[in-house]
């Protein structure tokens, strides 16, 4: 019997990842192709970000991938002066939450934005970003 | 229907670096509560042990602690909802007494946060929320509450100074609470001086002074049936309402950022069960792990309309002499926040208030008190309403 490959792509997500195996590992594959994806339930139409393999609305596991596109609105943000283990080299950085058409997305603001650029209500887009050591994430940039 | 009472309360002093083991820490609160109830260990027929397990080296601490307190062979178990663990313990104890399974239960909350090194603690802090979808961005507890603070400011015009006023109030009472870890005065001027530690940035817009301190501590609440309460206690405090709620751990799964839905939901349930409204509350303990958390609590509990919490603190209405005294024991901001012990400490304060035994912190003749205890960043919420005869 052939040895089964373990799909542990999720360990690539973010600066420090605590998860390696998830049924939504394709999220990483899509990030690598330049897309930030959520999921949509084929049965009842509920939309999810972060993506889920299973629908809490109708209990179906038949999901479609759905790209987070267009402009979002920044709902809130915070600039951190202290971080957990593994993030020391990135400080300070700004975490944020944005409202897109169907979903809300939690993430980080692009380091290229100055403090004055970042205000509640600003328009943002969510784009993949390559990190050190082959890791990958997404960030908000000014739309 | 027979009522359920709190007949004994205890709390260790909250300290940095407790000079003893977890069982010895638990013993301090337990002894005070059992003596307060005029009981012995043999009069208690079950125990619920509450803490946040990420700080414990001991696996399954319930058995170890129950034995040390003399609570064997009675049943014991462990329960956790992070920072709200011991008020969840109270709710479960209430249910077990109400169901007739037991008639005197010890709810013991503890945390020895210094049990692990500061590096280990930093590592655990990174896993405080959704580890799959949020921790990879480098999140921390203060930053989550900072997201709420920013949203509240953007929506209602709340200022950093409004938040500082909450810390100034907390310190007013921390100075007269000998169980508090932080007993020094705090002034608004300290927040205005960039050189002052209080003004140091943590996660914008929150500063050092907006955050509570870690501490080691224990708390203990003895819950009893009406029948047993009448045998042992001259001043039973009755549990009138218990409300609890949960929400999405991930911020992206939530709809409210200028408040905590769990507090709104849990208070609705608790008010309805007690047959009261927010106006009937005479004294409250709210979960002020950060200043913004107290501001949101004012609004989520109905002490102020959404956005008007700032008016309450500006007018000093939540001081001891105000219309709704809140955290007149110094709150978590002064007492410190030993995760698993915090809810029990809040309950103890309200019980002492209702018995008229709160000393310098006593508010004038309260009949109904409320405890708001939140777990995680608004992930779990418990609201408990207590009253006296
Ligand atoms: Zn569905």
**Under an 8 A CB cutoff, do B137 and A15 touch?**
yes
Tokens of B219: 């708390």
CA distance A125 to B170: 41
Helix/strand/coil for B55 = helix
Contact with chain A for residue B176, Cβ under 8 A:
no
Residues of B in contact with A13 (CB under 8 A): 136
Tokens of B196: 């002052």
pLDDT of res. B128 = 76
**Under an 8 A CB cutoff, do B138 and A79 touch?**
no
**pLDDT over 70 (residue A20):** yes
Inter-residue contact B137 to A107 (CB < 8 Å): yes
Beta-bridge partners for A49: none
CA distance B306 to B152: 9
**pLDDT over 60 (residue B27):** yes
Question: What fold does the segment set B4-117+214-232 form as a domain?
Answer: Peroxisomal Thiolase; Chain A, domain 1 (3.40.47)
* pLDDT band at residue B123 using 50, 70 and 90 as cut-offs: confident
Inter-residue contact B229 to B239 (CB < 8 Å): no
CA distance B90 to B179: 21
- Which of A62-66, A83-87, B78-82, B355-359 has the lowest average pLDDT? A83-87
**pLDDT over 60 (residue A1):** no
* Mean pLDDT calculated for residue range B359-375: 98
Q: Residue A48: which of A34, A23, A65 has the closest Cα?
A: A65
pLDDT in tens, B94-111: 999 999 999 999 999 999
* pLDDT band at residue A46 using 50, 70 and 90 as cut-offs: very high
**pLDDT over 60 (residue B149):** yes
> What's the Cα-to-Cα distance from B87 to each of B112, B219, B229, B269, B298, rounded to whole Å?
18, 11, 20, 15, 19
Best interface-test mutation with B: which of A27, A38, A85, A96 has the largest number of B CBs within 10 A? A85
**Under an 8 A CB cutoff, do A84 and B147 touch?**
no
Contact with chain A for residue B147, Cβ under 8 A:
yes
CA distance B123 to A22: 22
Domain map of chain B by residue range? 4-117+214-232
pTM over 0.90: yes
ipTM of predicted assembly, 2 dp? 0.96
* pLDDT band at residue B117 using 50, 70 and 90 as cut-offs: confident
CA A49 / ligand 1 centre spacing (Å): 14
B184-189 own/partner pairs: CB under 8 Å, 24+ apart: B188/B161, B188/B164
Residues of A in contact with B143 (CB under 8 A): 78, 80, 95
Backbone angles phi, psi at B214, to 5 degrees: -65, 155
pLDDT of res. A3 = 66
Contact with chain B for residue A30, Cβ under 8 A:
no
State the sign of the Cα–Cα–Cα–Cα dihedral B355, B358, B360, B361. negative
């Amino acid at each position: 019997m052939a040895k089964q490959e373990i799909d542990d792509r999720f360990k690539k997500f973010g600066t420090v990842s605590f998860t390696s195996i998830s049924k939504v590992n394709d999220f990483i594959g899509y990030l690598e192709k330049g897309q930030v994806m959520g999921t949509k339930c084929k049965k009842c139409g509920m939309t999810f970000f972060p993506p889920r393999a299973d629908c809490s609305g109708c209990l179906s596991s038949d999901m479609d991938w759905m790209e987070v596109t267009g402009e979002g609105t920044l709902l809130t943000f915070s600039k951190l002066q202290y971080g957990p283990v593994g993030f020391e080299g990135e400080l300070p950085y700004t975490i944020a939450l944005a409202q897109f058409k169907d979903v809300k997305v939690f993430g980080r603001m692009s380091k290229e934005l100055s403090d004055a650029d970042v205000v509640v209500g600003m328009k943002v887009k969510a784009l993949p970003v390559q990190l050190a050591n082959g890791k990958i994430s997404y960030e908000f940039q000014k739309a | 229907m027979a009522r359920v009472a709190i007949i004994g309360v205890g709390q260790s002093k909250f300290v940095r670096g407790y000079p003893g083991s977890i069982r010895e820490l638990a013993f301090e609160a337990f002894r005070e509560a059992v003596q307060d109830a005029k009981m012995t260990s043999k009069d208690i027929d079950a125990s619920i042990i509450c803490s946040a397990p990420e700080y414990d080296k001991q696996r399954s601490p319930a058995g170890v602690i129950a034995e040390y307190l003399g609570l064997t062979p009675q049943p014991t178990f462990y329960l956790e909802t992070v920072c709200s663990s011991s008020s969840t313990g109270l709710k479960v104890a209430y249910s077990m007494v109400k169901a007739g399974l037991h008639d005197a239960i010890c709810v013991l909350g503890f945390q020895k946060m210094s049990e692990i090194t500061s590096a280990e603690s930093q590592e655990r802090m990174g896993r405080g929320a959704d580890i799959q979808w949020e921790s990879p961005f480098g999140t921390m507890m203060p930053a989550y509450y900072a997201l709420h603070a920013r949203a509240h400011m953007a929506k209602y015009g709340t200022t950093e100074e409004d938040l500082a006023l909450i810390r100034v109030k907390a310190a007013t009472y921390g100075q007269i609470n000998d169980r508090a870890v932080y007993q020094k005065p705090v002034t608004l001027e300290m927040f205005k001086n960039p050189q002052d530690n209080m003004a140091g940035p943590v996660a914008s817009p929150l500063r050092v002074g907006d955050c509570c301190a870690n501490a080691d501590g224990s708390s203990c609440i003895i819950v009893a049936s009406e029948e047993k309460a009448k045998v042992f206690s001259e001043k039973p405090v009755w549990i009138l309402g218990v409300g609890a709620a949960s929400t999405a751990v991930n911020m992206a799964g939530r709809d409210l950022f200028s408040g905590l839905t769990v507090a709104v939901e849990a208070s609705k349930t608790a008010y309805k069960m007690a047959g009261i409204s927010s106006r009937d509350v005479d004294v409250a303990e709210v979960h002020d792990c950060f200043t913004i958390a107290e501001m949101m609590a004012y609004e989520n509990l109905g002490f102020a309309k959404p956005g008007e919490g700032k008016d309450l603190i500006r007018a000093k209405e939540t001081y001891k002499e105000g219309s709704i005294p809140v955290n007149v024991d110094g709150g978590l901001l002064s007492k410190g926040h030993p995760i698993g012990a915090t809810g029990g400490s809040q309950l103890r304060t309200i019980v002492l208030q209702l018995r008229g035994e709160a000393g310098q912190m006593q508010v004038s003749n309260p009949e109904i008190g409320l405890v708001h205890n939140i777990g995680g960043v608004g992930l779990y919420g418990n609201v408990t309403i207590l009253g006296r005869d």
